[in-house]
Amino acid sequence: MRNWRTGTGKREDEMTNCLFCKIISKKVPAKIIFEDEGVLAFEDIDPQAPVHTLVVPKKHIATTLDISNEDDALIGRLFQTAGKIAKEKGIAERGFRLVVNTNPEAGQEVYHIHLHLLGGRHMHWPPG
Ligand code: AMP
Ligand code: ZN
């Protein structure tokens, strides 16, 4: 549905209402631990492990199903950034888990893709 005031479409409406876009634009505070031109990483507000960091693209992409070819490098950067943070936090060699939830049955709550970087404790399999 197009926005009658701005003439722009759904994507802009989604961004306006998106919690992680608000964190990226610093309208909502977060404990930011890494930032570059394309990626932001901040601590999860409700950590499920001793390390629980969220790594997000600055570009609003709602779910993994919305990733396009032009996002290839950006998605690579997300994983690379998660690995760097894991090393900095001293969990790279012990091990860590990267999780991306997609849509309701997976428990996606925020519709702006994010890598959950989880570590610092033993991770169970299968996940819940
Ligand atoms: P998901 O369920 O995969 O969409 O993950 C959303 C994550 O965002 C959850 O782990 C929440 O704890 C986390 N979260 C929600 N609000 C905030 C916030 N304001 N700052 C940091 N993390 C948040
Ligand atoms: Zn967003």
- Give the pLDDT band of residue 13 (cuts 50, 70, 90): confident
C-alpha neighbours within 13 Å on the C-beta side of residue 120: 14
Task: Say yes or no: CB of residue 107 within 6 Å of ligand 1.
Answer: yes
Mutate to test the pocket of ligand 1, among 54, 61, 100, 112 (most ligand atoms within 8 A of CB): 54
Task: Say yes or no: CB of residue 108 within 6 Å of ligand 1.
Answer: yes
Task: Assess whether pLDDT exceeds 90 at residue 97.
Answer: yes
pTM above 0.85, yes or no: yes
Predicted confidence at residue 6, as pLDDT, reads 47
Mean pLDDT of the chain: 93
